[in-house]
Structure 1
Amino acid sequence: MATNNLSVLQALDSAKTQWYHAKAIVIAGMGFFTDAYDLFVISTVTKLLGRLYYQSDGKHPAKLPTNVNNAVIGVALVGTLLGQLVFGWLGDKLGRKKVYGITLVMMALCAICSGLSFGSSAKSVITTLCFFRFWLGFGIGGDYPLSATIMSEYANKSTRGAFIAAVFAMQGVGIIFAGFVSMTVSHFFLIANRAPSFNENHVLSVQPNADYAWRIVLMLGALPALLTYYWRIKMPETGRYTAVIEGNAKQAAADMGRVLDIEIQAEQDKLAAFKAKNDYPIWSQKFVERHGLHLIGTTTTWFLLDIAFYSQNLTQKDIFPVMHLTDKAEEVSALGEMFQISRAMLVVAMFGTFPGYWFTVAFIEKLGRFNIQLMGFFMMSIFMFIVGIKYEDLATEKNRYVFATLYGLTFFFANFGPNSTTFVLPAELFPTRVRSTCHALSAASGKAGAIVSAFAIQKYTVNGEKKKIRTAIIIMAVTNMLGFLFTFLVTETKGRSLEEISGEDGGKDTPEMEMNNREDSHVQES
């Protein structure tokens, strides 16, 4: 087995875990906290938007037309996909650090502007909201490849997977806060509007000042981004980028020595030879031979995973009434409905979504990425097939807790499974020169799956019809089984240096070596 002979890379791989690693997790992780908050909080307010800006038929509360609902939710995902591609490419061309702060500025500014959406008609307000959420998504998109790449290039090889997974686990915290903030704000307005002149039992009316509620919820998404901006721009460029891509071993040694307790020799002559040997672009035959199947594996599994994962998260508001976790729209006031949706979202996130992320952090270096991803896809498929096949029986008042448990388990195994590992693997499998770009391509494929969810799967759930929801759940189960099969295109990466995995050290993974990596992963020690 080949090993790299550059001291800067060896020092980073063997560096003991120290304070700056934890600090980097928090700095990068707060970006993902913001990402998750901004992307998923919209589900808590779309019902309110429908009641505020559209007309009731006199019998049922007003709601967003299906195409408008899909646009409000999906436009940020389109922006995220494009942002991933642009910022991922820039991360390899200009450096991870140079574009890292820009993403936070965009996220903070567009979150505020989303809450200030203006217009004299429903159409103009929704159009303005969609415009700002597109650019919000564009900024969010940049966080995916940059955060993953930065964390992978800072970490040592024995804890790298856990550190990258910990960054991504902040997504779970963001989802919890999206539910908590929306629930708190709606509850505050419910209390404020309990005046004698207000008939809170009239569900077709909208409480006074309710228009402020959704705006406050969206604008609060800017806060975590603003709080971490200073620390993000103070992060030095990663030693791997400075050494391998810029070819400046002396600067890499100085930068890493400033934040990590390690000693690095410059070795400029050796670095020049290392750089020349690995100077091949992503469209080259050499890349295709070494990493073509890996890239197909990371893009397809992320695409298939996000069809199911975003369908679960973005359609919760429509499934909760069927699960009897919230009242039907006809039985609750506008802000009351927002409160109930947020509360149900918070409960599912606390007991299903959130634990799954941290199980991955705890076990990824023991079980390995490959095994966790296979297990997650398989278990998600099983639980979704059960829910889909037994849907008519489960969607009753008597079985609501069984339904909620099975539904929560699909979230748990999404996060103790492919939702975490599809983020980790592209940050480890590919060479330094194209690492950010390859992660961006993989993440963008995921967002393409999320867009399929927002614009296609949602049509089955938006009206709360049991047969259509059942169909959507079975579709999700099938996509998860396909994800299980495509996982065999990637290899186990735990316990190895980034250069050994990518072949930059002079070695190369053959199919036989990759099979051995998977079979032996349970005995490899961190």
Structure 2
Amino acid sequence: MVNKFLLRGLGFFNDAYDLQVVNVVNVILQHRYKKEYTADMKSNVSTAALIGAVLGQLVFGFLGDMYGRKNCMVATCTILILGGILTASAHTPTDEGTLWFLIIARGILGFGIGGEYPLAASSSSEDATSPADRNRRVSLTFSLQGVGFFTAGILSLIMVYALDETPTNLEIMWRVLFAFGILPALFIVYYRITAEETAVYKNMMADDVHMKKIRWSFIIKHYWRSILGTAGTWFLFDIVYYAQNLFTASILAVVGQKSTLHSVAVQNILVAVVALPGYYIACYFINRMGRKKIMLQGTTVMLIIFLVLGIWWAEIKTSSAGFIILFGLTLFFANFGPNMATFVLPTEMYPTAIRSTCHGFSAASGKAGAAIGSYGFSLWVNNESFGYRGTWFTFAGLCLLTIIITIFCIFDNNDEASVMDNQFKTLLDSEGDEVRKSFASVMETPAPAEYIENKA
């Protein structure tokens, strides 16, 4: 039997790999489809999975609260397999048609990818034995994103070194790289089918508290500040983070003297090596520092580095070593900062009954930002009046806005999940909402409604 960490984590590894591998595939497709692979087409290929992810996060976040984490995770895993097969086998009689087929297939894949976010986070947190254990479980699950990113880089490096850059070999490269992403989903789909639903979720369903009966107006009224915090910071941060990650290879291609597919693949691995430890340092400090402090310190360092890149870009871009260090550090402190924190915080800032929905909405806001960053990046850097310098300054401004929202809207919750769940039920009772009519009893020690008001 696969343990629960792999049950949730491998799906997230799958997601991260599929999102990141397009980084190098973008360069491969540029070499393979020279005329057809325009800046707009590159943006479409990169953005398709992100748009699908937005829809997947919204839909499966909501369905996860209505019908359970387990059932929905089986569905997302199935979509990952189908989307992966379509992506790797994309083909039409024309090159342009093949690229459009690829865009559609990536959108389907993204729908499954998006669903994994709220479901993996919610189910991981609900298996925890304490708040500290909850944060550790969720952060370790998320850390497999870094492993997925790194694996995508390693396999890309192997492919570009194993095969010459002929049209046939380039075709093999991108198809094999996409096909590999199917394997983790194939491995875990059976175990997800036979897995048990989380006990915390089953208890809430037994109390008849679920999204079928909870009004959106109630959620917005009592949790608007939390939603602004988790969704707003995720939206702003992901504009920066995914523009960086999905176009790392393209950025490295303009830095220094060498811009071959081989050199870009090597440099891409170097960046991943610098960035990967950030996930596990964040896991180590997730309870020692707290999620809010991790968010603030990581975003602040990113802000400073982007300002340095913007001010001294003319000098920095001539040194690939110097740029790789600075660029890698932005990714390191993203992982030891807002990238980790935005994923963990919704699991502690929302009660069980709406956790998956609110996490899904927050994650969807992030992927909406990622789609903006992904689609806009090529257009920004290719604009002579804006270019890379303007892009770095824009990233710095987005980091500043993220810091401001974090200060005023984010909080660490070190209470047991049952505390917030009881407070949620008390709020429903106190307002006489229809959703509370089915409850058989009143909480023995209800917490004051001010708790939610203060923290939300």
Opposite residue 81 of structure 1, the aligned amino acid is V
- 2-structure distance, mates of 1:125, 1:71: 13
* Partner AA of 1:327 in structure 2: K
Partner of 1:366, secondary structure, is coil
* Distance (Å, rounded) in 2 between the aligned partners of 1:86 and 1:184: 37
CA deviations on 1:162-216 (whole Å, 9 max, x unpaired) are 11011011000000000111111221113xxxxxxxxxxxxxx835432111111
Please tell me whether the aligned partners of residues 349 and 413 of structure 2 are also in contact (alpha carbons under 8 angstroms). no
Match of 1:378 in 2: 300
* Contact preservation (8 Å) 1:385, 1:473: yes
Contact 1:319 1:461 in 2 (8 A): no
Q: 2:278–2:333: 8 Å Cα contact kept in structure 1?
A: yes
Counterpart position of 1:323? 255
CA distance in 2: counterparts of 1:100 and 1:83, whole angstroms: 11
User: In structure 2, do the counterparts of structure 1 residues 340 and 276 end up closer, same or farther at CA, with 3 Å as the change threshold?
Assistant: closer
Structure 1 contact 318–461 (Cα < 8 Å) conserved:
no
2:163 aligns to what? 189
Determine the C-alpha separation between the residues in 2 that align with 1:466 and 1:376: 30
Instruction: Look at both structures and tell me which one has the larger radius of gyration over its CA atoms.
Output: 1
Aligned to 1:86: 59
The residue that corresponds to 1:458 in the other structure is 378
8 A Cα contact 2:65 2:210, kept in partner: no
Aligned residue for 1:218, secondary structure, equals helix
C-alpha distance in 1 between matches for 2:265 and 2:402: 30
Q: CA deviation at 1:91?
A: 0.5
Counterpart CA distance in 2 for 1:380 and 1:80 is 25
Instruction: Assess, with a 3 A threshold, how the Cα gap between structure 1 residues 154 and 342 changes in structure 2: closer, same or farther.
Output: same
Q: What is the CA distance between 1:435 and its match in structure 2?
A: 1.0
User: 1:219 aligned to 168, 179, 189, which one?
Assistant: 179
From 57, 61, 74, the counterpart of 1:101:
74
Task: Write 1 or 2 for the structure with the bigger share of helix.
Answer: 2
Deviations 1:374-418 (A, max 9, x none): 111111111111111111111113xx3222211111101101011
Instruction: Give the distance between the partners of 2:62 and 2:220, measured in 1 at CA.
Output: 18
Tell me: CA distance 1:460–1:284, structure 2 relative to 1, closer, same or farther (3 Å).
closer
Match of 1:487 among 397, 406, 420: 406
| Residue 409, structure 1, aligned to residue 329, structure 2 | yes
CA deviations 1:419-469 (Å, max 9, x no partner) are 111111112211211111101100000001001101113312358x79601
Measured in 1, the distance between the counterparts of 2:75 and 2:149 equals: 23
Distance 2:51 2:173 in 1: 25
SS in 2 for 1:301: helix
CA positional deviation for 1:70: 0.5
> Per the alignment, do residues 207 and 217 of structure 1 end up closer, same or farther by CA in structure 2, a change over 3 Å counting?
same
Q: Structure 2 regions of 5+ residues with no counterpart?
A: 426-445
For 1:441, the equivalent position in structure 2 comes to 361
Q: Which residue of 1 aligns with 2:433?
A: none
- CA RMSD in angstroms, aligned pairs only: 2.4
Report if the CA contact (8 A) 2:294-2:338 is conserved: yes
Structure 2 counterpart of 1:363, one-letter code? F
- The 1:176/1:481 distance shift into structure 2, 3 A limit, reads same
Contact 1:118 1:128 in 2 (8 A): yes
- 2:349 aligned with 1:429: yes
CA contact (8 A) 1:179 1:345 kept: yes
Report the counterpart of residue 121 of structure 2 in structure 1.
148
SS at 2:258 equivalent: coil
- One-letter amino acid matched to 2:273: M
Q: State the secondary structure of the residue aligned to 1:117.
A: coil
Q: Match for 1:283: what amino acid?
A: W
Kept in 2, the 8 Å contact 1:278–1:504? The answer is no
Could you tell me how far apart the structure 2 residues matched to 1:354 and 1:210 are?
28
- Aligned partner of residue 296 in structure 2, secondary structure: helix
Q: How does 1:348-359 map to 2 (within 5 A)?
A: 348-351=271-274, 353-359=275-281
Distance change >3 Å, CA 207–CA 499, structure 1 → 2 = same
Residues 54, 122 of structure 1: 8 Å contact kept: no
Q: CA deviation at 1:288?
A: 3.2
Q: How far apart are 1:50 and its partner, in Å?
A: 2.5
Letter aligned with residue 161 of structure 2: H
Relative to structure 1, the CA distance from residue 288 to residue 102 in structure 2 (aligned partners, 3 Å threshold; closer, same or farther) is: closer
- Give the SS at the match of 2:276: helix
SS at match of 1:495: coil
Q: Deviations over 1:330-378 (max 9, x none)?
A: xx4xxxx1x3333222211111x21111111101111111111111111
Q: Is 1:500 aligned to residue 433 of structure 2?
A: no
Map 1:252-271; keep pairs closer than 5 Å.
Answer: none
Aligned-residue sequence identity (percent) comes to 34
- Determine the C-alpha separation between the residues in 2 that align with 1:208 and 1:140: 29
2:216 match: secondary structure? coil
How far apart, in 1, do the equivalents of 2:21 and 2:101 lie? 18
Shift of the alpha carbon at 1:500? Answer: 2.5
- 1:48 alignment counterpart: 28
Q: Residues of 2 paired with 1:315 and 1:101: CA distance?
A: 31
1:28 maps to amino acid: R
Match of 1:254 in 2: none
* Closer/same/farther in 2, CA of residues 462 and 166 from structure 1, 3 Å limit: farther
Structure 1 residue aligned with 2:431? none
The count of aligned residue pairs is: 433
TM-score (norm 1): 0.78
* 1:289–1:466 CA distance, 2 compared to 1 (3 A): closer
Question: Match for residue 518 of structure 1?
Answer: none
Contact 2:136-2:286 within 8 A present in 1 as well? yes
TM-score, L = length of structure 2: 0.89
What amino acid maps onto 1:103 in structure 2? T
Matched, 1:177 2:177: no
Query: Could you say what secondary structure the match of 2:414 adopts?
Result: coil
| Displacement of 1:23 | 2.5
Distance 2:452 2:12 in 1: 34
Distance in 1 (alpha carbons) for counterparts of 2:182 and 2:360: 23
Q: Summarize the Cα distance change of 1:306–1:442 in structure 2 as closer, same or farther, 3 Å threshold.
A: same
Relative to structure 1, is the Cα distance of residues 153 and 511 closer, same or farther in structure 2, using a 3 angstrom cutoff? closer
User: In the alignment, is residue 297 of structure 1 matched against residue 229 of structure 2?
Assistant: yes
Aligned in 2, Cα 1:432/1:461: closer, same or farther, shift over 3 Å?
A: same
Alignment CA distance shift 1:120-1:437 (3 Å) = same
5+ long unaligned stretches in structure 1: 1-19, 56-62, 191-204, 248-271, 516-526
Q: Which residue of 1 aligns with 2:310?
A: 388
**SS of 2:161 mapped into structure 1:** helix
Out of 241, 264, 275, the position equivalent to 1:341 is 264
Q: Tell me by how many angstroms 1:226 deviates.
A: 1.1
CA contact (8 A) 1:392 1:466 kept: no
AA aligned to 1:499 is S
The 1:30–1:279 alpha-carbon spacing in structure 2 relative to 1, beyond 3 Å, is closer
Matches within 5 A, 1:32-71: 32-55=12-35, 64-71=37-44
The residue matched to 2:315 in structure 1 has which SS? helix
